[in-house]
Amino acid sequence: METTPSLDAAIYADLRQAVGDQALPVLLGRFKAQLQDWSVSGEMATLGAAAHGVIASSGLIGFTRLSRLCAALETACTAGDLDTVRALAARVSDEKAFAEAEVARLIAAG
């Protein structure tokens, strides 16, 4: 069972302090758009490349579980491990949905 929180509050607080309250909504909006533009499906090469793109941005904001799952998904795609890709894609999809909702909440909260 996964014990890492979906959103690491300490990482998010550090980011907020680093970029400031003016830039944070812009950063969150870009991340939200990145997630909305990404369908966790398709050919392995495309899926792996898309997962790679989410690793850093999700980790930067504090979505460490999503970042780690995307890294594992990218690795499975590169290895051509279809069974693992299928299993991870379902978990990534769930975590992505949580992140999208949480980012919308964070943006609304200011």
Cα 104 to Cα 35: distance, rounded to the nearest angstrom: 11
Of 91, 27, 37, give the one whose Cα is nearest residue 62. Answer: 27
Instruction: Quickly tell me which residue has 């014990």 as its tokens.
Output: 3
pLDDT digits (tens, 9 = 90+) for 47-57: 999 999 999 99
Q: What is the pLDDT of residue 82?
A: 94
pLDDT tens per residue across span 58-92: 999 999 999 999 999 999 999 999 999 999 999 99
pLDDT for the residue 4: 65
Task: Identify the CA nearest to 58 among candidates 17, 96, 18.
Answer: 96
Average of pLDDT values for 90-96?
Answer: 94
Cα gap 66→92, rounded to integer Å: 6
pLDDT at position 3, please?
61
Is residue 1 over pLDDT 60? Answer: no
Q: pLDDT tens across 2-41, in order?
A: 566 789 999 999 999 999 999 999 999 999 999 999 888 8
pLDDT band, very low/low/confident/very high, at 105 (cuts 50, 70, 90): very high
Q: Which of 4, 17, 7 is nearest to 98 (CA)?
A: 7
Please name each of the domains of the chain with its CATH number.
9-109 (1.20.120)
Q: Are 70 and 54 in contact (CB under 8 A)?
A: yes
